[in-house]
Amino acid sequence: MSKVLVIAEHDGETLNPSTSRTVACALALDPEAVDVAVFAEAENKPVQAAARLNGVTRVLLVEHPANRNPLAAVLAPQVAALARHYTHVLAPSTTFGKDVLPRAAALLGVPLVSDIMRVIGQNVFERPIYAGNALETIEAPPGIVVATVRTASFKAVAETGSAPVERISLDFDCPTHTRFLRVEGSSGGGRPDLQSARVVVSGGRGLGSQENFDLIYALADRLGAAVGASRAAVDAGFVPNDLQVGQTGKIIAPELYLAFGISGAIQHLAGIKDAGTIVAVNKDPDAPIFEVADIGLVGDLFEVLPALLDALRKDGS
Amino acid sequence: MKVLVTVKRVVDYNVRIQVKPDGSGVMLDGVKMSMNPFDEIALEEAIRLKEAGKATQIVAVSIGPQAVQEQLRSALALGADRAIHIPLDAAPQPVNAARALAGLAGRENPDLILMGKQAIDDDCNQTPQMLAALLGWPQATFASKIELNDKAATVAREVDAGLEFLSVDLPAVISADLRLNVPRYPKLPDIMKARRLPIETVTPEDLGVEFVPEAKLLKVAPPPKRQAGRKVASVDELVAALRERGLLS
């Protein structure tokens, strides 16, 4: 029977929703135990949040002053030290998991399986290659399986559990060659998290400017949605990088995705393949986004967006 | 300062790949191959560091069959000073690519290793982190800005929460994200000149690399296709369609 270690992602205040989806992937292994490791400076809210995730056996709180910020060079040796007690080590395939887990796998001398989309067997997994234009099924070699989980492929678990919390102290050489300076984030304006939002409103190059993106923000606020953007919109400086949806940005699976002025480059489409309903508004009837959109509207977004806001205001949605 | 840049030969990013009917892989016969775009960004950054007087030597390295020398020649044409080919029948998976590169780093002693954050064929996003682990060096992945001094680098990293700033001691491994720079194109005379430049060959045996077991490929399949839905003619129809699906509460 397998024993799975899930590496929690958190910012000291909240447990990132990707952790819950990673636990869901762990449960697909039909394991004997799923432990969630929270690396932190001290006990915090994410520890309690992890304990509530259904299916979690234990929460391991690993306290260390250097765990204040998630530095791969600091975390990887701790993950590797814990890993020896498990058959599988999983982390979300977010920039956090992608940074830390390959480093831990290398310390363990094993390969890493990136971006699990589906669990087929204890060491057989499906994952995307070529920006999601093909799916490969691979078998990890015997030994500990270390993998990141494509969180859009798994549904979050319920939060009615009450797993015990155990404090673990690890003996490891804490490197001093890496210093955390700061994070500059787009505050998000109190909007839902892009990677776990039920509805996402996204804008592309067609918006034309940073100011025009206000139309996207207005619709998002009307719908209680998160805001996303295409790579073209980020490259043009309309919005910060953390809003980018796509193969090299965030891969998301909202119930409803509304794309305005996004042509639908392959790498963007790779980021929204798992969305429930895709709505596309574009003035170019031949834009590739229409090939995947469930509902398409050919039109000028500068007319459609205000009209849509108006229509939603009228019927109180 | 000596900078090592890794270069992978991949299917050109403009090619729409096709899965082989027998599911054994994707079709590569007659398909245009290029330098991995993220590696081009890493190389461009090295060239800019040299132009700014910070780097003194750029060494490009690639692992795989003879054909990877084509991408090494591209690197020479763009501005690499030396090119090293580590011959293997096929490109290794990240766990072993990192082992080979760690061996080479032990021999070349670079002050900085610049790599693309991922290759656009396997999309693994692992080798830089693994290499940094094997060398015991700091890593700064997904870099969108690098400021270098003699002993350390300040790196802006594109993370899910925004931009994270790290300071790492040198030597370090830094992986390039999209917005680090816009790579230049090689000039024709430089391409011609690069054809005559030597490429050094260093075998894994020379480097004493011990490979470990890799994951086994069982099958490659095309992804399930999303079907195009319907077009609506007006905003009112759009709202009605969303309401029908229960998507407006």
**pLDDT, average across residues A219-226:** 94
Predicted interface score ipTM higher than 0.85: yes
pLDDT at residue A187 in the model: 58
CA B129 vs. chain centroid, Å, equals 12
Q: Check residue A1 and give its pLDDT.
A: 83
A and B: number of Cβ contacts within 8 A: 254
According to DSSP, residue B233 is labeled S
Compare CB distances from A94 to B134, B160, B220 and report the shortest one's residue.
Answer: B160
Query: If you average pLDDT over residues B147-153, what whole number do you get?
Result: 93
pLDDT confidence bin for A186, thresholds 50/70/90 = low
> Residue B180: what residue type?
L
Q: Does B239 touch chain A (CB under 8 A)?
A: yes
- Interface contact A112-B126, CB threshold 8 A: yes
Q: In B, which residues are within 8 Å of A256 by CB distance?
A: 242, 247
Considering chain B, what is the average pLDDT of its residues? 96
Chain B residues within 8 A of A235 when measuring between CB atoms: 178-179
What pLDDT is stored for residue B249 in this prediction? 65
Contacts of A313 in chain B (CB under 8 A): none
Quote the minimal CA–CA distance from A74 to chain B in Å.
10
Residues 6+ apart with CB under 8 A from A310: none
> Residue A317: is its pLDDT beyond 70?
no
Kindly state the tokens that stand for B61. Answer: 């390295």
pLDDT, tens digit (0-9, with 9 covering 90-100), for A14-54:
999 999 999 999 999 999 999 999 999 999 999 999 999 99
- Tokens representing A26 are 């762990």
Preferred mutation among B16, B122, B126, B210 to probe A, highest tally of A CBs within 10 A: B126
Are the Cβ atoms of B241 and A298 closer than 8 angstroms?
no
Residues 32-71 of B with CB under 8 A from A: none
Letter string b/e over residues B30-48, b meaning 16 or more CB atoms within 10 A of that residue's CB: eeeebbbbbbbbbbbbbbb
Distance from CA of A240 to the nearest CA of B (A): 7
pLDDT for the residue numbered A191: 86
Q: Flag whether pLDDT at A235 surpasses 70.
A: yes
pLDDT of residue B228: 83
Convert the pLDDT of each residue in B109-121 to its tens digit.
999 999 999 999 9
Question: Which among A31, A40, A30, A32 is positioned nearest to A7, based on CA atoms?
Answer: A40
User: Does A94 sit within 8 Å of B123, measured CB to CB?
Assistant: no
- B219: nearest CA in chain A? A137
Asked whether residue A314 carries a pLDDT value surpassing 80, the answer given is no
Q: Across residues A114-128, what is the average pLDDT? A: 98
Residue in chain B closest to A10 (alpha carbons) equals: B161
Q: Contact A134/B223, CB-based, under 8 Å?
A: yes
